[in-house]
Amino acid sequence: MKLDTNTLKKIAHLARLEFDEESAGKMTQDMTQILNWVEKLNELNTDGVEPLTTMSSEVNVMREDVVGTHLDHEKGLKNAPQRDSDYFRVPKVLE
């Protein structure tokens, strides 16, 4: 697929890219190569190929969720540097 200058300018505007005319020629060539490569990939027969959700073959080892006991609010706030009734007091972060 040949990319023309007007299409490149539209894409550059949407992507908030700025470049001069000399760079536009190089960018047009590069993007045309990328689009040609994608078209080539579309020719592949992918019937029966499961989609990938990740490129890693590693598996997370998860623990079972177990209901346990929790601290009551007094024990939880016991070591708080500052508190206000039933809440932690923290320094203001946003104005």
Domain that holds residue 15: 5-42
In a domain, 38, yes or no: yes
| pLDDT on residue 40 | 93
Q: Average the pLDDT over 55-75 and give the result.
A: 84
Task: Give the chain's domain count.
Answer: 1
Q: Domain holding 30: CATH number?
A: 1.10.20
Looking at the predicted structure, is the pLDDT value of residue 73 above 80? no
Looking at the predicted structure, is the pLDDT value of residue 15 above 90? yes
Tens of pLDDT, residue by residue over 21-64, are: 888 888 899 999 999 999 998 899 989 988 888 888 888 889 89
| pLDDT on residue 37 | 93
In a domain, 37, yes or no: yes
Amino acid at 53: T
In a domain, 21, yes or no: yes
In a domain, 85, yes or no: no
In a domain, 13, yes or no: yes
Query: What is the C-alpha separation between 68 and 71, in angstroms, rounded?
Result: 10
Q: Average the pLDDT over 8-19 and give the result.
A: 90
In a domain, 71, yes or no: no
**For all residues of the chain together, what is the average pLDDT?**
87
In a domain, 77, yes or no: no
In a domain, 29, yes or no: yes
